[in-house]
Structure 1
Amino acid sequence: MVDVADKLAYFQAITGLEDPDLCTEILAAHGWDLELAISSFTGSNSNPPDNTVAGTSSTGEGGAAGRSVLGSQVSQQMEPVYNPPASPGLAWKLVTLPVSVISGSLGLISGAIGLGLWAAGGVLSYSLGMFGLGSGLGRDGESSTPMLVSVSAAASEAMEFVSRFERDYGTTRPNFVSEGFMDALQRSRNTFKLLFVYLHSPDHPDTPLFCERTLCTEALAEFVNENFVSWGGSIRASEGFKMSNSLKASRFPFCAVVMAATNQRIALLQQVEGPKSPEEMLTVLQRVLEESAPVLVAARLDAEERRNNMLLREEQDAAYRAALEADQARERQRKEEQERLEREAAEAARKRKEEEEARERAAREAAEKEAALARIRQEKALSLGAEPEKGPNVTQVLVRFPTGERKERRFYSTATIQSLYDYVDSLGCLNAENYSLVSNFPRTVYGPEKVSLSLKEAGLHPQASLFVELNS
């Protein structure tokens, strides 16, 4: 039985009312019937559809196997929903999960959103009581706070349950996952399977025989392991106890088949209460599996389409990035080539300018040199004076150049050898500056050491024949 504080906290969570006194008055007015108070509150704040249908699938002692429509209880226990579309005939019931279970696995919200397609078109909405939501004052007037099961605590409970169950009943069993309920629900969503839930009551007299002769039989275990994700929990543990309250487990052994829905709820597809034979369990599970197959196939196809669309977008994005990178690479290459050509053009222009300047400088220097040589030749020609007339003191000199050209002039016998060099330089017949005047018979070189001798002293009077010899 859910205590007053839990009912008050749950009513506040569902309705969104923050005033505890007002919530207390509403609950008291409805005899602390939580579902009746919620239905009254939601009915007074919305326009429910004309047809409100509820279905529940249960198999238990004294209870009808299969599905039935709740008659007069609908107005008191069901939230207003719209009729589901034509389906395989499976009656679904939406069960609100305890906050402490939801907070134990934060992956629920994102996981449940994608599986909302499983309940698309509308399903029966049935908000059942929750345990562990209480806050404020408890029954004894003492302060109480909700006990939130963390991820590690939920997983620890699951591992402890699997370990104890295997120790008591062996390894031939459903492969219960060693993780919290919400993680198991997420796992079933990701694998597009239904979640088989087993709530274990160690103290119930029917539990040992049910586990040994039904749940752990090879045929049932193989069928469950092949077609379902399995989660088990002991009602002695926190999460198992809260799930037993959410699913309103009234008899044990208790099994259920659920799938994720929206708004932090699960769709309860089938519940089996009380001891059953393996054949009865297989018949029920096979029927649930067959009737849920279209929904699972639709969910799988939808997920595959989303995945294919995502892969297509990724491929398109990758192709776009590759094309963009190729364009950028070509643009960089084009810019680099353009910069290279510009550098080469600039370098060629610089070299041409330097060459042109060098030619201009060389021409200018050559002109200056030629002008200087012209001045020197003129000066030397002036320094020779006028050519003397023939006479006893006049020497006749013949000069032969390497080109074969001959020049002849008369000099006073007292003129020096340097005068002969000045004469040759003034003619401008040589492009070389380093040369010597040489006589053949006998061979005599009139070098720098003899330029101060007179023609007569050098033995060149009264006449001389010299040739110009270029020095290397």
Structure 2
Amino acid sequence: MDDSIVFDVLYDGNTLPMVLPINATISILKSTLEAYTGIPINKQMLLNLVNVNEDTTLASMDLSRVEMVQVDESSNNTEAATTTTTTVVAEQNNTTPNNNNVVSPSSNINAININESNNSNSSPSIATPPVNNSSNNNDDENNNIETFSDDDDDAMDGGDYDVSRPYVTSRFATNYFPNSSFDQDSNLSPQALTEFLDQVSYPTFASDYASFGMNLPEPFQGSYKEALNEAKLQGKLVLTYLHSPESEQCVMFCSILEQEKVFEFIMNNYIFYVGTINETAQMLLFNLIPFESYPIVALVANFSSTPRVLELLQGITDGDEFYSKIIHQYTSNMQELDRIKAEEEQKQEERRLVQDQDEAYEESLKADIEKAKKEQQERQRIEQEEQKINDAKQLRLDRINLVPPEPAKGPKSTQIIFKLPDDSKLERRFNSTDTLQTLSDFLHGSGIEIENFQFVTQFPKKVYTGQDFKQTLEESQIHPQSILNVRSNDE
């Protein structure tokens, strides 16, 4: 629900779940409460908000303890001449990052003064906004309970309203200013973590500060998911540093990172990932990892598919203490890191073997495909050649249609005996006016597989080639009869 805010409003001992647009204002909240409860807007009083102006955006405030009470309008008119002050002691454990990206603890108690006057629609005035005091372990737990003091029991609608009832968290209040206590044994959503850190990646962190003469560890240049995977491969933890350029503490922390022992230990034993946090990213970060102050360092292990925050460090000012913590987390997890590294190396080797097998298979398949392709091409070539030969043969056979019918014996007919290269003979009569080309057409039509013929007479010996084929039998002196040796003119 990136475009909505979800929170509870306590009313008459019950929690009312609210789901409103991210840009919703006090006015919209009051209208929604009127629809839920039937209480008119002019009888609603909102408590534990730092600003109750109608146009104030809800997302700009801590919504973890919002409460509505109903004001008796007639009682306000009756007591118009008197002013009653009601003090609300707000919970000291509220957590709200300020606009300067630095949230620091404070022991101030925040008071909301409600001035009941002739104007029944008067709004409560704010003395001090709520700040984070979760680090003060000596606070009286009673400070976490709301109390009211009012001489007129009828000032609120319903005289038996229990103003000492503690706030009861509802399962519906899920995504806005969660409890700031951080369970370091809990697993973060890998998708939420990686998506957020990828958006705020600061790969030029070291080079930017190098221009100021600072030698800082070089951050990982890929995505956060890639950083987690690289940590597995190298048997390292991921030191995730969230840098706020507007925070003086972050600038001071850079001098800690610059220390030689810190620098060397991070570069040798951690994957160093840096994100830069602006005001917009800060709100997203707070929903992901509740925090109190900058700088923020998360020491993350990727022992399984879900990254785990081993330790969340905030407000780091002591270089030796920071150095001790990163050493402790690395050494205490070294056995597990070595195991993960060995597993990853084994997986890498298995992937390499599978890849080699796949590549060998691909090469073999490629060779088989290439061989089949060549064989197919060869078959096609042979088929084409055979077709070409068959076509040529058919053309020669068709030349028999060019030969005139065999004439009867007579003075105008010529008797020819063909002696073929295989010593076989063909005999036929032709007209004396037929040409030597007619003899060639006859032999082709008879299936004699010689492309270009030549005819040779015995007595007298004479050779007739293609250039003589226009002569008639009579002109070539073959008439009235002759024995012709048939040869190929191409030999």
Say which one has the larger Rg: 1
Of the two structures, which has the highest relative contact order with CA contacts closer than 8 Å and spacing of 6 or more?
Answer: 1
TM-score if structure 2 supplies the norm length? 0.40
TM-score if structure 1 supplies the norm length? 0.41
Instruction: Return the structure number with greater helix share.
Output: 1
